[in-house]
Amino acid sequence: MPNDEARQRSRLIIFGVVGAYLLLLVGLASVGRFTFVTKTAVVPVVLLAVLATGHVRAFVEQWAVFLSLLVLFDAFRGYIYYSIVALDLDVYMGYVIELERWLLGGHIAPVWVQARWWDPDVETAFDQLLTVVHGSHFLFFLLFSLTVWHARRAAFPDLKLGMLLVMAGGLVGYLLVPTVPPWMAASEFGVLPEITRVYGQVYNTATPTLRQALDTNPIAAMPSLHTAFPAFLTLVAWRLWRWRALPIFPYFALMLFSLVYGGEHYVADELAGIALAGVVYTAVYPGRLGARLRAALARQDAEASAVLRWLDTPLRRHLAATALVLLAAEVVGQISLSGRSAWSPGRRFVARELAGKSPLAPVVLGRIALAEEDLPTAQREFERALTLVQDPVRLRAVRVMTAQTAMHNGDAAAAVRALVVEPLDQLDPEHGVLLARGHFATEQRDAGMRVLTQLSRGYPGSARLAYERGKWGLAVGALSPADIEGVVLSLRDRFHDPVAAELADRLAAQLARTGPARAGRHRTGP
């Protein structure tokens, strides 16, 4: 009876602490601050719960190596991304889109779902619920594992083995078939209609080192580990508790929906995750993989088993093994972080995944040429994109890239052609200045001054526009010295910041060097 009371007390403490943490997540999500909660923040909460129960030694012996191996696997997840970038390995996109269409009769699940339920202008309670579900991935794993450890400790070794195998299977998929997620296929490459990445950086599953909890691998979509982990745990729950495990099923269904709704995964990714979970479950439980591994370890000689059988070694060996695994994770993470750069598509990717499929193919080729400092090729590709891209927002971005590249090439006329079709009220100050410079370079002084004057009226708070209007008005003789002095005073009086003051000093110095005769040579007025 005392043991039952102690067990009940431990259960209440563990679930009380973790439950309070879950309520905190819900509260943060309701006020839009869920993005600041990372999965590593769960670990101190779990340790606090275990410390409160007094089962610290048992926890270290049965959890320490397991958790450190998860950290190591996460480190390899980051290292895989580093390797893909460093070795220029192939990244894939089209195959999963075709598979999705085949599975769903021509539909793409994230496109279909967002078109019907996602409203970018309204954040609903359902959006907040899905945010919590999506971000609870690691919390659910820990809470479930604590439950099994506390209530069915004999089943805990097989659970740990299964979780590690699920993670390993995901890593194999990320290495062999690195796959672009739906939101990237739509927003970056234009092969799908618009898909919003609803959750952004709400949560991620990559922790390459203990100091880098926000690292991520953006091309790790196949299989979906956000699906595979809860799928495996749902199967285990059914095996251990049967009908009492039914509350897990709605959570699993919400997780599946949240991944599609947020633009993170296709249904095909989720099915791959479920298949991975099913294979691992079959191997560990009906196949008794864990029992066979433990039997094999038991047949090893004493020296070998002292190294390999972590679950049966003294506490100091658990701590030593944990330290070694964490050190390995730190080394792997530091290697990947030291040379990490963001993945960018290469010509092989464009030829295989974009050519003939997306109007953004020449845009991507233009960016590749820019990275190679081949400006003439970049300009040609961007100009080709102007004839293909129809989406107004993307077309405006292509016009700006074309104009910027043309100016670098000394082709001011091409820069003007790219931007002059845009209404001035749709140009921001930076791009308006670019258009004005193109006009001045092609001797269209009045046109250049009209652009700067009109934009200055539309953006009265832009110190950069005020400076550019004064500078070019001085350079082409379009403004009188009094006008220039007025701009200088305006910069100093209306814009109380160091940048505006520096621009004012720079313009005053230019006026002093130019002299009043030249400055007043061709005044057109403001």
353 occurs within a structural domain: no
How far apart (Å, rounded) are the C-alpha atoms in residues 366 and 377? 7
What is the mean pLDDT of the segment spanning 361-387? 90
Question: One-letter amino acid identity for 487?
Answer: V
Q: Indicate whether 178 pLDDT > 90.
A: yes
- Assess whether 144 and 45 both reside in one domain: yes
150 occurs within a structural domain: yes
Say which residues have a Cβ less than 8 Å from residue 92's Cβ, sequence separation at least 6.
177, 178, 179, 180, 353
Q: Indicate whether 508 pLDDT > 50.
A: yes
- Assess whether 189 and 115 both reside in one domain: yes
- Assess whether 518 and 416 both reside in one domain: no
Look at residue 318 in the predicted model and tell me its pLDDT: 65
Give 3-state DSSP helix, strand, coil % of the chain, rounded to 5.
75, 0, 25
- Assess whether 284 and 326 both reside in one domain: yes
- The enclosing domain of 363 has a CATH number of 1.25.40
Look at residue 392 in the predicted model and tell me its pLDDT: 84
Look at residue 202 in the predicted model and tell me its pLDDT: 38
- Assess whether 83 and 183 both reside in one domain: yes
Query: According to the per-residue pLDDT averaged within each range, which of 211-215, 247-251, 304-308 is highest?
Result: 247-251
Instruction: Provide the number of structural domains found in the chain.
Output: 3
344 occurs within a structural domain: no
CA angle 44-50-56, nearest 5°? 110
Task: Indicate the DSSP class of residue 222.
Answer: S
Q: pLDDT tens, 21-40?
A: 656 655 555 554 444 344 55
How far apart (Å, rounded) are the C-alpha atoms in residues 513 and 163? 72
220 occurs within a structural domain: yes
346 occurs within a structural domain: no
130 occurs within a structural domain: yes
116 occurs within a structural domain: yes
How far apart (Å, rounded) are the C-alpha atoms in residues 430 and 459? 11
- Assess whether 128 and 240 both reside in one domain: yes
Q: pLDDT tens, 472-482?
A: 877 777 777 77
What is the mean pLDDT of the segment spanning 122-151? 80
- Assess whether 407 and 451 both reside in one domain: no
- Assess whether 106 and 57 both reside in one domain: yes
pTM of the predicted protein model: 0.76
Look at residue 129 in the predicted model and tell me its pLDDT: 80
Dihedral of alpha carbons 73, 74, 80, 82, sign: negative
Residue predicted with more confidence, 448 or 273: 273
Q: What is the mean pLDDT of the chain?
A: 77
CA-wise closest residue to 132 among 237, 63, 29, 217: 29
Given a contact cutoff of 8 angstroms between Cβ atoms, the answer to whether 224 and 212 are in contact is no
- Assess whether 204 and 276 both reside in one domain: yes
Q: Which two tokens stand for residue 352?
A: 């295989």
- Assess whether 79 and 166 both reside in one domain: yes
How far apart (Å, rounded) are the C-alpha atoms in residues 262 and 131? 9
Q: E strands, 82-220, where?
A: none
Say which residues have a Cβ less than 8 Å from residue 145's Cβ, sequence separation at least 6.
156, 159, 160, 163
Q: Structural domain of residue 57, as residue ranges? A: 2-338
Helix (H, G, I), strand (E, B) or coil at 220: strand
Q: For residue 180, what are the CA distances in angstroms to 133, 183, 187, 512?
A: 23, 8, 11, 56
520 occurs within a structural domain: yes
- Assess whether 367 and 438 both reside in one domain: no
- Assess whether 241 and 369 both reside in one domain: no
- Give the residue from 422, 441, 473 where a domain finishes: 422
- Give the residue from 422, 450, 467 where a domain finishes: 422
Answer whether the bond into residue 223 is a cis peptide, omega within 30°: yes
Q: pLDDT tens, 154-176?
A: 888 889 889 999 999 999 999 99
Helix (H, G, I), strand (E, B) or coil at 179: strand
